[in-house]
Amino acid sequence: MVRIFAKHTWLVAVLTALPFLCSAQEKPLVIPLVPAADWRQVDSQSLPLSAVSKYGGDPAVEQEYGVKALELRTYQLGKKRTQVVVESAPDTVSAYGLLTFYQTPAMTPEKGLQIAIRDANQTLMARGNSFIRFLRGQDSPSSESDYQALLIFVGGSEPSKSAIESLPSSMPPKGLVPGSEKYVLGLEAAKRVLSSFRTDLIGFEQGAQLQLGQYKTGKGTSTLISISYPTPQIARVRFGALTNFLGLNQDQGEDSIYGRRYHSYVFLVLNSGNAGTASALMDQFDVTESVSWDQKYNPERSFTLQVVHMILAILLLTAYLIGACIVAGVLFFLSRRIAAKFFPDSPWGHPDEDQLIRLNLKT
């Protein structure tokens, strides 16, 4: 009996260890979302808009995107410190526009993060209505994991769903030079990205919004521009002005500019060389027109929280009305008492029952 047990001892050992080996092999590899790094904010100061030039910004352009002031934050990890510049824009689109304006083809997307790009000197990020600059200096952490932990600590790994849905559509990806896409909201920014173009004809004062990108076309590079206007009527007038002043769709050699209008959009192509190349670039746009009578609303608050806020607002309004009535009653009472004391001959200070009514009756 002992001999048989000893003979099969190895089999028992294998069967006992097999579940643990299988579970170890089947156990998924867990990659932490936030690398272990104890970052903390140690300083914060407000700066005027003019100070943005110290950090690679352009005050005139920043003002067009709605930025009014800066916040300079300092974060510390051990003995290492990193400065972060936070700029508050009016909305998500403006913050995203600033990121596209400052991005260059040399920048690359930040790994594991959305709407964040980097180069050797800084990382740019758009989160909600905030445009964020992470400055990499001599005191910045040398570890990539520690630096990425700071990015996630400040801005998170991705924007909110509502922020992503509010962003403008991207330029057509076919042939697009990485890092060349721009979203422009004003004349100053347009002058800097389209230095040889009549930017005064675009019509930013009428609500125009411009997107552009550089595209590889054969041996050269062409600029594809998309301009959106509030109404088709404004787009028609502006397209007519561009046609008259720039001679659109006419063969002028290297200076030829081709364009077309769809509803409230105007598309232009610069430096294409010929009409065929320009037409191929503009054909990538697919413009559709639709009318929605009941557009879906995507609130950030849940339905229950909205109901609670509505009830609290009604109660607050009721309290305001009751308080206003009480104050009006007290003022009414005090006005009669003051009138009776300081203006005894005034009828306002004496109740009606105190008045003596005389009837001049003659028999």
For the stretch 132-177, pLDDT in tens is: 999 987 666 668 889 999 999 999 988 988 889 899 999 999 999 9
Please report the beta strands in 18-148, taking only residues with DSSP state E, as ranges in sequence order: 40-48, 69-77, 80-88, 108-109, 116-118, 122-127, 130-135
Residue found by looking up tokens 């769903």 in the block:
161
- pLDDT score for 6: 46
Could you read off the pLDDT of 311-324 as tens digits, one per residue?
Answer: 999 999 999 999 99
Give the number of other CB atoms < 10 A from CB of residue 39: 21
Give the number of other CB atoms < 10 A from CB of residue 252: 10
- pTM assigned to the model: 0.69
- pLDDT score for 54: 94
- pLDDT score for 354: 56
C-alpha 44/C-alpha 172 separation (Å) is 40
* Beta pairing class for 209-217 and 182-184: antiparallel
The sign of the dihedral angle between the CA atoms of 118, 122, 123, 127 is negative
DSSP codes of every residue in 194-226:
-TTS-GGGS-GGGT-EEEEEEEEETTEEEEEEE
C-alpha 185/C-alpha 265 separation (Å) is 15
Question: Which amino acid is located at 111 in the chain?
Answer: K
- Pinpoint the residues of the chain covered by CATH 3.10.28: 182-282
Could you read off the pLDDT of 234-286 as tens digits, one per residue?
Answer: 999 999 999 999 999 998 887 899 999 999 999 999 998 889 999 999 999 98
Reported residue count of the chain is 363
DSSP codes of every residue in 243-286:
HHHH-TTS--GGG-EEEEEETTEEEEEES-SSHHHHHHHHTT--
pLDDT band at 340 (very low <50, low <70, confident <90, very high): confident
Fold of the domain spanning 182-282: Endonuclease I-creI (3.10.28)
C-alpha 154/C-alpha 127 separation (Å) is 10
Question: Which residues are 118's β-sheet partners?
Answer: 108, 123
Q: What are phi and psi of 108, to 5 degrees?
A: -125, 155
Q: Which helix (H) or strand (E) holds 17?
A: helix 9-26
pLDDT band at 12 (very low <50, low <70, confident <90, very high): very low
The residue-averaged pLDDT of 84-96 equals 96
Query: SS3 of 275, please?
Result: helix
Query: SS3 of 302, please?
Result: coil
Q: What are phi and psi of 282, to 5 degrees?
A: -70, -25
200, 180, 176, 177: which is closest to 190 by C-alpha? 200
pLDDT band at 351 (very low <50, low <70, confident <90, very high): low
Question: Which residues are 211's β-sheet partners?
Answer: 183, 226
Query: SS3 of 336, please?
Result: helix
- % of the chain surpassing 70 pLDDT: 80
